[in-house]
Amino acid sequence: MTTETIIANTKQMIDDLKTVCANFGLGNASSEYKIITEIFLYKFLNDKFLYEVQQADERLKDSENVEQTLNNMPEDDYEMLMMQLPAATAKLKREHFISYLFNHKNDDKFNELFDATLWDISNTNLDVFSVSTGSGDKIRLFDQNLSLNVTESNRRSDFCRAMIDKLVTFSFADAFSQKYDFFATIFEYLIKDYNKDFGKYAEYYTPHSIASIIARIMVPQGTQNVTVYDPAAGSGTLVLALAHEIGENNCTIYTQDISQKSNEFLRLNLILNNLVHSLGHVVHGDTLLSPQHLNRQKNGLMKFDYIVSNPPFNVDFSDNRDTLAGENYKERFWAGVPKVPNKKKDSMAIYQMFLQHIIFSMKENSGRTAIVVPTGFLTAGTGIPKTIRERIVKEKMLRGVVSMPSNIFATTGTNVSVVFLDNTKKYDKAILMDASKLGTKVKVDGKNQRTVLSDQEIEDIINTFNNFETKDDFSVVVDYDKIEQKKCSFSAGQYFEVKIEYVELTQEEFQAKMDDYMDKLTELFGEGNTLQTEILEQLKKVKYEANYDK
């Protein structure tokens, strides 16, 4: 089966699940994303389990009905088989199989069996497949009573039957040989209707093209045994791209995000991409107030090899502003904390806080970072942005900047740039790139306009950056002294050479142009004199009148 066919079949199953939700009054409901993603995950875990047991036991490889063979297996043999499975495979009891539910779908109160099955899978795999809250509580794979989202109690069993019917028509078996790009496509399709920001700091979606550019710029060949961190992880597009570039078995991912929804998406993303070993480092909590990844030996926050982030740019965090500006946070937020605006509190520049936190979290002498920022950060002449840029230049951390085209992110019209920092101190210059003129405008969902980079444009950005090439009106390589002279501006345009084009003219052509310039200037001067005379006449009419009513 071709990759295109597998993708098409998977998308069709997702569409079928959404149709069931719509038929039972759950289309566009706040609970729809949870239902769709959890049932999709149940299907994935079921099929992955059946695939892995076939790899683990020779007797099952040629079985025409793996589930029936497993059902007939003695209990001791079944338990031994469970011990042979990879740690990233969810352990399922035989009554957890989709086929078991399908064979019992006509039972009374089938919805209770359906809910109990998902809940038991959650508890059976709690140690490996849960994520944590800031307080240490475990968030399980599945909700305890998923069917209760259907308001009419007499329709709940029918809803669960309809879902099971959609799951048995398709198998993921052929998909498990696929890699990151396949599952990135499926994941984007799965959450495309649910990636709107409805968490306080949540940013769910970074375009795959941007994530790929960042990963291929950041990661040198041969990287092994490293930590990857995102303090505002959203659905995990950036950390997943980096892990794919490094190698899923060569890195451990650490994340934190204040949004429960984004953490659920992230967990699904990690499971799909064979990064189950990092699930224990996914934390639901407020990174700025209470970062949870600690170095127990050094009694402080962890420092990371790689940090990537597309944090929210502007959010009202006025409730916590004074706390963050207090003594306990001064080391981490060394450049300061934005003040609370008098009117638009939601315009508080929270990205400045994440940027400081990220710089603080880089490993000394080895940490590498890429962070998405509003392009205005590159040239701001005062305040926290200027202080941050000055420190970056002073400590020779700036590897480079790529200013992206407008509308590269479908969710924001703000112009964005990616700032690359490197703590290895091996760079004495930085490359500044203006890619804002690249890309093609396309309509997303028939309404929002988005800029899409071609494969060739992506290659040009990556190769130009990694090779430190200077290209006219596109990229420039500058040393730190020159950046300091330009008030630490990170904008490529301020360093491009101004070129004057010389055109060969005959004496007659030159005289004609000069005569034209003289005529236009004379006309402008005449208009200026007329205006000057009119202003003077009006001023003569202005008289002093005393106010005797005081």
> What is the predicted pLDDT for the residue at 199?
41
| Dist. CA 40–CA 58, nearest whole Å | 29
> What is the predicted pLDDT for the residue at 516?
78
Which band of pLDDT confidence, cut at 50, 70 and 90, is reported for residue 89? Answer: very high
> What is the predicted pLDDT for the residue at 127?
86
> What is the predicted pLDDT for the residue at 198?
39
Which DSSP symbol is given to 376? Answer: G
Average of per-residue pLDDT across 326-331: 95
* Residue 336 CB partners (closer than 8 Å, separation 6+): 325, 383, 384, 387
C-alpha radius of gyration, the chain, whole number: 30
Average of per-residue pLDDT across 296-314: 90
pTM for the model stands at 0.84
Nearest by Cα to 260 from 235, 280, 289, 291: 235
pLDDT tens per residue across span 250-288: 999 999 999 888 888 898 999 988 899 999 899 999 999
> What is the predicted pLDDT for the residue at 194?
79
> What is the predicted pLDDT for the residue at 447?
65
Which band of pLDDT confidence, cut at 50, 70 and 90, is reported for residue 240? Answer: very high
Interior angle at CA 374, CA 369 and CA 376, nearest 5: 115
* Residue 444 CB partners (closer than 8 Å, separation 6+): 410, 450
Nearest by Cα to 214 from 524, 542, 462, 446: 462
pLDDT at 179 over 90: no
pLDDT tens per residue across span 144-162: 999 999 999 999 999 999 9
Average of per-residue pLDDT across 184-194: 85
pLDDT at 202 over 60: no
| Dist. CA 88–CA 186, nearest whole Å | 20
> What is the predicted pLDDT for the residue at 484?
94
- Percent of the chain, pLDDT > 90? 63
pLDDT tens per residue across span 2-42: 888 889 999 999 999 999 999 999 988 889 999 999 999 99
- Highest mean pLDDT among 124-138, 229-243, 287-301 belongs to 229-243
pLDDT at 203 over 50: no
pLDDT tens per residue across span 92-131: 999 999 999 999 999 999 999 999 999 999 999 988 887 7
With H, G, I as helix, E, B as strand and everything else as coil, classify residue 99: helix
pLDDT tens per residue across span 470-480: 999 999 999 99
Strands 306-309 and 368-374: parallel
pLDDT at 541 over 70: no
Output the CA–CA distances (angstroms, integers) from residue 365 to 2, 214, 306, in the order listed. 46, 20, 12
> What is the predicted pLDDT for the residue at 538?
65
| Dist. CA 334–CA 317, nearest whole Å | 18
> What is the predicted pLDDT for the residue at 504?
76
pLDDT tens per residue across span 62-75: 888 899 999 999 99
pLDDT tens per residue across span 504-525: 778 888 888 788 777 777 776 7
Q: What is the 3-state secondary structure (H, E, C) of 459-506?
A: HHHHHHHHCCCCECCCEEEEEHHHHHHCCCCCCHHHHCCCCCCCCCCC
**Phi and psi at residue 369, to the nearest 5°:** -140, 145
Average of per-residue pLDDT across 81-93: 92
pLDDT at 231 over 80: yes
Q: Token pair of 542, please?
A: 């202005």
- Highest mean pLDDT among 180-194, 482-496, 516-530 belongs to 482-496
Nearest by Cα to 100 from 89, 113, 115: 113
Nearest by Cα to 263 from 310, 231, 241, 228: 231
pLDDT at 388 over 70: yes
> What is the predicted pLDDT for the residue at 410?
59
Nearest by Cα to 483 from 366, 365, 397: 397
Average of per-residue pLDDT across 431-459: 87
Average of per-residue pLDDT across 43-53: 94
- Percent of the chain, pLDDT > 70? 91
Query: What is the residue-averaged pLDDT of the chain?
Result: 88
pLDDT at 425 over 70: yes
| Dist. CA 138–CA 284, nearest whole Å | 10
| Dist. CA 98–CA 46, nearest whole Å | 7
Q: Token pair of 527, please?
A: 């208009």
